[in-house]
Amino acid sequence: MPENLTEQQAVCSPITRSAIFIVATLKPGGKHAETVRAWCADVAALVRAVGKRVPAGNLSCVCGFGSDAWDRLFGRPRPASLHTFREVGAGTRRAVATPGDLLLHIRADQMDLCFELAAQIMIRIGDAVSVVDEVHGFRYFDMRSMVGFVDGTENPAAGEVARFTIIGDEDPAFAGGSYVVIQKYLHDMAGWNDLSVEAQERIIGRKKLSDIELDAAVKPSSSHSSLTTLVENGEEVKILRDNMPFGQPGKGEFGTFFIGYARSPAPIEQMLENMFVGRPPGNYDRLLDFSRAVTGGLFFIPSATLLEALADRQPDSTDADVRNPGSTSSDMRYQDGSLKIGSLKGTSGYD
Ligand code: HEM
């Protein structure tokens, strides 16, 4: 399907004040698969109906499918780089993989819109899925993350977001789609707050109050921003993040829901490797001394055009063969054999 005929899901929509993240597994049985398939053609109308009630509320919903669910629901063809989330880590630092067939990323400037849409979607598919995680995120003051630093600064600029997030000619049948990685993190806020502001700034790589990047001479190669910066052929490979703080202070829960979109899973996987294992190994992200990933998943986001058409798909009997294609490196690569994630070295001399 040529890119110019596809309408994208709301991957590149503007940052909002509220979000609900729902991860669900598909219940066994053809009846439940049929319910979810049929809903694929309805979801856009649900977003329109709920969103119309508050036109300035910027309501949107992005729907993603996990690797196993794709095969069960839709069969072939399958997105070239879709696989189950690969756990990475060293020692006690683990980017865990947890169950998830369906991801809903619902965004709006007010929580009632998110809530209403989530409720309407559950009326349609609630019997066919088991919700394994639901997080209600909020924007914290001036775009602060739960750890107090401004989050999202180095996202790609509006004019370049699509180039980094939307699939093009590398996978023509899935052009207009995207990949997304999610992780739910819980923070040791007492430990984090015991650090001096300067120590926190060296961990993130930016000034806490002003959000200015630390000078190259003092920014450690282990800083979060150094380890998540990838350069390939002299050009930075970016991803689009829309992390949200969440929590329940009464229960001592303080969290960050990480969500990153890209046109291939490879750059996000490389960032996770750099953070959890280290670049070089051992030079890991100290943010992880205060943050534990408790969920992790990779999902494919079909274009809006394809999402609607998927309602009419039927997996055929041979589709069992394509389940769990495994973690061959070939499915991470572009046709030119490149990972499109840079030299995997540091950027601009920080390392
Ligand atoms: C505990 C969870 C996390 C928190 C609290 C967090 C917070 C932050 C903050 C405060 C910044 C600096 C401002 C900015 O440029 O946005 C940042 C940058 C960034 N983070 Fe995270 N982050 C988390 C997890 C992740 C993960 C899991 C990834 C990727 C797998 C990631 C990728 C990035 C990238 C690409 C940047 C921009 C780096 C640059 O170009 O300078 N983050 N993050």
Indicate whether 115 belongs to any domain.
yes
First to last CA, the chain: 42
Of all protein residues, the one whose alpha carbon is nearest to atom 7 of ligand 1 is 151
Of all protein residues, the one whose alpha carbon is nearest to atom 9 of ligand 1 is 151
Task: Choose which residue among 135, 237, 241 to substitute to test ligand 1 binding: the one with the highest number of ligand atoms within 8 A of its C-beta.
Answer: 241
- Which residues lie closer than 8 Å to 341 by C-beta, 6 or more apart? 230, 232, 237, 266, 267, 270
Ligand 1 atom closest to the Cα of residue 147 is: 5
Indicate whether 337 belongs to any domain.
no
Task: Check if 260 has its Cβ closer than 6 Å to any atom of ligand 1.
Answer: yes
Indicate whether 35 belongs to any domain.
yes
Tally of structural domains, the chain: 1
Q: What Å distances lie between residue 33 and 247, 254, 302, 312, 330, CA to CA?
A: 33, 35, 17, 12, 29
Task: Check if 258 has its Cβ closer than 6 Å to any atom of ligand 1.
Answer: yes
Q: Pick from 245, 241, 247: which is nearest to 256 by CA?
A: 245
Reported pTM? 0.91
Question: pLDDT value at position 341?
Answer: 38
Q: Report how far ligand 1's centroid is from the alpha carbon of 24 (Å).
A: 25
Question: pLDDT value at position 14?
Answer: 86
CB 51 within 8 A of CB 138: no
Task: Check if 256 has its Cβ closer than 6 Å to any atom of ligand 1.
Answer: yes
Q: Report how far ligand 1's centroid is from the alpha carbon of 261 (Å).
A: 13
List the domain range (segments joined by +) for residue 237: 14-313
Indicate whether 335 belongs to any domain.
no
Indicate whether 114 belongs to any domain.
yes
Q: Report how far ligand 1's centroid is from the alpha carbon of 267 (Å).
A: 13
Ranges under pLDDT 50 in the chain: 1-3, 320-351
Catalytic residues: 151
Question: pLDDT value at position 317?
Answer: 62
Indicate whether 4 belongs to any domain.
no
Q: Report how far ligand 1's centroid is from the alpha carbon of 214 (Å).
A: 15
